[in-house]
Amino acid sequence: MHLHLLLATTLLTLTHGQSSARAHGPPPPPVLLNSTKSGVLPILPTATPFNGIETLEGAIINPGPVNPGFTGPGGTATAQTKLPAATYRADLPDTMFNLLVGTVIRGSVVAVGTPDGVQFSVNLTGLPDQALYGPFPWHIHNLPVPTDGNCTSTLGHLDPTNRGELYMCDAAAPETCQVGDLAGKHGGKITAQGSFQTSFLDAFLSTEPGSASFFGGLGFVVHTGNTSRLTCANFEMVEAGNGTNGTMGNATATPTPSVTGGTPEFTGGVVRIGAGVGSVVAAGVFALFI
């Protein structure tokens, strides 16, 4: 956790100018990625000639279709059990990071540790026009939102297995997805008009500080359909739990989401950095890239 906060502080100066610019203009143009990049494209595809893929703010805009069994160098995510019964809440701010969409997304995401994973409840209102800006991906990112509200400083998805985002998440095998890809694992991009509510149990995120899958203090981000960032907020502890330390095993869990507002559209994650000490160097590179 201290590593996440240190990286966010380091990136603050580099990204402050971008935060101000976003309020007065569109996101930067797409960038062609044709080399490996941790958390985005850790391994180049070899089945066919690879001529690169377009990214926006460091994320692949159009990932490939689901590739069953595909994992990153770190293999599958580990299931989390017997978690502390702590409650974390991300409350979206009253101002949008992207002011150009003409609305303000309000609401919260509440997450509670359970013996079988983390129970999430999502309640969002004020979604922008779907025809112009949707559908909307939503994820837990790798770093906190800094005090200036710059959503790009959160970097990419929480991705301790370094899966990357070349292929969309396979919701039927959530252990193969990025840990922070909530949309990919639990119902897809938001296709609702105006408001969105859902609840689900995620078996691979953790309320245990020190776990590679711990999301406390990290940023929750909502994106436009082309992956640019709309709004973001940090998960803050609102109630401490008395559960035992999490125990981890290679179990597989199938999510059972309950969604209100729109037909699910499954999507790959917006990713850039994997967890671990090796991501320190990569984080500096991505701070310059976004």
Q: 279: pLDDT confidence band, cut at 50, 70 and 90? A: very low
Give the rounded percent of residues in the chain with a pLDDT score beyond 90.
64
Quote the pLDDT of residue 83: 97
Parallel, antiparallel or unpaired: strands 31-33 and 219-223: unpaired
Distance between CA 57 and CA 278 in Å, rounded?
21
Q: Angle at Cα 35 formed by Cα 185 and Cα 27, nearest 5°?
A: 65
**Contact (CB, 8 A) for 282 and 42:** no
DSSP 10-77: HHHHHHHHHHHHHTTSPPPPPEEE-S-BTTTBSS---SS----EEEETTEESSPBPP-TT--BTTBSP
Quote the pLDDT of residue 16: 39
Quote the pLDDT of residue 208: 97
Mean pLDDT of the chain: 81
Distance between CA 196 and CA 107 in Å, rounded?
10
Per the rule left: phi > 0, alpha: psi between -120 and 50, beta: everything else, 149 is: left
Q: Is the pLDDT of residue 26 over 80?
A: no
> Helix, strand or coil for residue 127?
coil
Q: Which is more confident, 17 or 162?
A: 162
Q: Is the pLDDT of residue 265 over 80?
A: no
Q: Which pLDDT tens digit goes with each residue over 110-133? A: 999 999 999 999 999 999 999 999
pLDDT, average across residues 47-54: 87
Q: Is the pLDDT of residue 81 over 50?
A: yes
**Whether residue 135 has a cis bond before it, omega within 30° of 0:** yes
Quote the pLDDT of residue 90: 99
Q: 48: pLDDT confidence band, cut at 50, 70 and 90? A: confident
Q: Is the pLDDT of residue 80 over 90?
A: yes
Q: 47: pLDDT confidence band, cut at 50, 70 and 90? A: confident
Structure tokens at 225: 């359909």
pLDDT, average across residues 63-72: 94
Q: Which pLDDT tens digit goes with each residue over 210-220? A: 999 999 999 99
End-to-end CA distance of the chain: 23
Q: 254: pLDDT confidence band, cut at 50, 70 and 90? A: very low
Quote the pLDDT of residue 242: 66
Q: What is the pTM of this model?
A: 0.77
Question: Residue 195 pairs with which residues in a beta bridge?
Answer: 125
Domains of the chain in start order, with CATH, are: 2-289 (2.60.40.200)
Alpha-carbon torsion (233, 92, 222, 253), positive or negative: positive
Q: Is the pLDDT of residue 195 over 60?
A: yes
How many CA within 13 A on the CB side of residue 130? 12
pLDDT, average across residues 64-83: 95
Q: Which among 171, 163, 161 is positioned nearest to 78, based on CA atoms?
A: 161
Element (H or E) spanning 120, and its range? strand 117-125
Q: Which is more confident, 270 or 191?
A: 191
**Contact (CB, 8 A) for 238 and 79:** no
**Contact (CB, 8 A) for 173 and 161:** no
